[in-house]
Amino acid sequence: MLPNSLSTLPLWPHGVRPKLYSFRRCPYAMRARLALWASGLEFDKQEVDLKQKPPELWDANPVGTVPVIVWVENGSPVVIAQSFEIMICALRARDPLSWLPQHQESWTTALEIITANDVSFKKHLDRYKYPNRHPETSSLKEREAGSVFLQSYEKVLENQDFLSGDHFGMLDAALAPFVRQFAKTDLLWFNSQGWPKLICWLQAFEKSDAFTFIMQKS
């Protein structure tokens, strides 16, 4: 059962192929594509050149960010411009791999972790990965702050195979692209840390059919 905060999202349309505006390496867009892969729903994808965004993207989302999914219903456009909401819309329509949490407690935990990722971890990730853009802080300081999150994931994985539980699910898909981006910033350093479970989890993700699908070039 969906939390009340998510129950009012638009329902996936019948007989219409929504259009997804995406960017291959964006972790937000990656998480949306992962859920669409898991759902098996049909959609059209347009890879966006971030230096020359198409007018229809701006029309759908005045902020100009991706991912955005759009379809027309009763003559009016329906737009979802938040990656996590795209995930929920797709998985609520079809969830053959049982990615959605099955219990209210699991929902509460997942939403708290995803919110912390999007609000705090992403901030540390950006400042670690792009130090020239953030001269007000230290890259190493931001790496240390981000590592607190990764250590918490390691502790979870010490007791279960996936962040979602006994199988890869919504929480794993929502976080994996961001953990991967953090790791790729300095892979030698990342692999030298005391996170054996997290490192194996990330490596398994990168070898998965889901990852292969979402990283296909258009």
pLDDT at 184 over 80: yes
**pLDDT digits over 67-79, tens only?**
999 999 989 999 9
Q: How far is CA 185 from CA 28, 97, 127, 191, 201, in A?
A: 17, 31, 11, 11, 17
Q: Which residue has the tokens 């996590």?
A: 84
Q: How confident is the model at residue 2 (pLDDT cuts 50, 70, 90)?
A: confident
For residue 167, the model assigns a pLDDT of 97
Which of these, 163, 79, 72, 69, lies nearest to 113 by C-alpha position? 163
Q: What is the mean pLDDT of residues 107-130?
A: 97
Q: How confident is the model at residue 217 (pLDDT cuts 50, 70, 90)?
A: confident
pLDDT at 180 over 80: yes
CB atoms within 10 A of CB 41: 17
Which of these, 121, 189, 196, lies nearest to 158 by C-alpha position? 196
40: left (phi over 0), alpha (psi -120 to 50) or beta: left
Q: Which residue has the tokens 């759902």?
A: 39
| Cα–Cα distance, 132 to 110 (Å, whole number) | 33
**pLDDT digits over 5-62, tens only?**
888 999 999 989 999 999 999 999 999 999 999 999 999 999 999 899 999 999 999 9
pLDDT at 218 over 70: no
Q: What domains are defined for the chain? A: 19-93 (3.40.30.10), 104-212 (1.20.1050.10)
Which of these, 121, 119, 101, lies nearest to 109 by C-alpha position? 101
